Structure 1
Amino acid sequence: MALRFIGIDPNTGTGESPTVWVDEKTHDVIIQGWKADSELEAESAAFEIPGHAVGIPAHEAVVRIPARMTGILRKACDVADRSDVR
């Protein structure tokens, strides 16, 4: 797997480092974020979406990304969507 670093939380200090990469082979967006607290996880698990099972499968996780990183997430999506890298 070849990850392309896109960005890190600009307010990163020691021990906190929400980060975004793009997998250059699959073009998946890879996100490292803060673990959701039990309240956010419970709310996410209870959210009902048509055609989607309620709950969070064991192989998935809810993560929190700071709002100040929206530009980094947009950049990751742009990199993943670029037709010349596919």
Structure 2
Amino acid sequence: MALRFLCIDPDTNGGHCPALHVDDETGDLLVTGRREDDVTNLRQVEANSGIGDHEVLVRLPARMKAIVLAKLLEEARDADTARTAVRRTDRGD
């Protein structure tokens, strides 16, 4: 599995999390961040989608929304560009 770094919280101290990576093979997103331990928040998430025994709820600071969105849009554009290039090659263009 080859992980590619996408972004990190610009206000992090010492270059640690929170951060976002993508698995180049699967396209899955991997998030590092502070584990959410607030019982009220955990109950709300549990009511909506559940949290498996092997899962944790990770908190990303609000300041990362724009950064994460920009990186995900960039990823989507790059994927669209790659698909277009493959289709053109397949057609002989």
Is the counterpart of residue 18 in structure 1 residue 18 in structure 2? yes
Counterpart contact for 1:7–1:20, Cα < 8 Å:
yes
- 1:2-81 to 2 correspondence within 5 Å? 2-14=2-14, 16-39=16-39, 40-47=41-48, 55-78=50-73, 79=75
- Larger of the two Rg values belongs to structure: 2
Q: Identify, as 1 or 2, the structure richer in helix.
A: 2
Consecutive unaligned residues in structure 1, runs of 5 or more: none
Consecutive unaligned residues in structure 2, runs of 5 or more: 84-93
Number of residues paired by the alignment?
80
SS in 2 for 1:77: helix
Distance 2:51 2:27 in 1: 24
- Bigger relative contact order (CA 8 A; separation at least 6): 1
